[in-house]
Amino acid sequence: MNNIEYVELPLINGKLIVKNEGRCILGNKLKFNSTLKSNYVGIFKPCTISVRNNGYLEIRDYSGFSGVSIVCSNKIIIGRYLNCGGNVSIWDTDFHPIDHLDRRIHDFEKINSAPIEIGDDVFIGANSIILKGVKIGDRSVIGAGSVVTKNVPENQIWAGNPAKFIKNI
């Protein structure tokens, strides 16, 4: 847990792999499950967190993750009491330039990234992907297998690929 700000260590079932080159703040009472025994949904991989140069990741109190992948190049803020289903990915970057010529020369300056904010009491269903620039409002639900590309207001259910409004809670 070198260079990571925390008051108490999270509960880790299995492994939590962290690469921190930016600022990483972990709240209290966090839980990371990386084993089938800790979550029977079918976890495909250990929980991983990558905070890249100048990235800022804050995970607030009482949130839980199973086989999560968090990649932060810009800024990700995760609220309190997030329930994250198995194998969810939260990525604030495209990882590669969009233009094929920029990809050929690995022009990292041309990679798009934008902050992600996930509110309090949110549930994200298994195998969902939260992409760059998205804000998910308090108490909202993301259906399993969704790809979230747009902002989700508070107290709403969204699902699908791309995720669309289903109903108000």
Query: Tokens 């803020």 belong to which residue?
Result: 77
For residue 65 the two structure tokens come to: 């993750």
Please report, for residues 37, 64, 166, the alpha-carbon distance to residue 31 in angstroms, rounded to integers and kept in the order given: 14, 5, 29
DSSP code of 67? S
Q: 69-99: string of b/e by CB count within 10 Å (b at 16+)?
A: bbbbbbbbbbbbbbbbbbbbbbbbbeeebee
Active site residue 96: yes
For residue 100, the surrounding DSSP H or E stretch is helix 100-104
Q: Which of 23, 96, 110, 139 is catalytic?
A: 96
Residue 28 backbone dihedrals phi, psi, to 5 degrees: -85, 155
Q: What are the residue numbers of the active site? A: 96
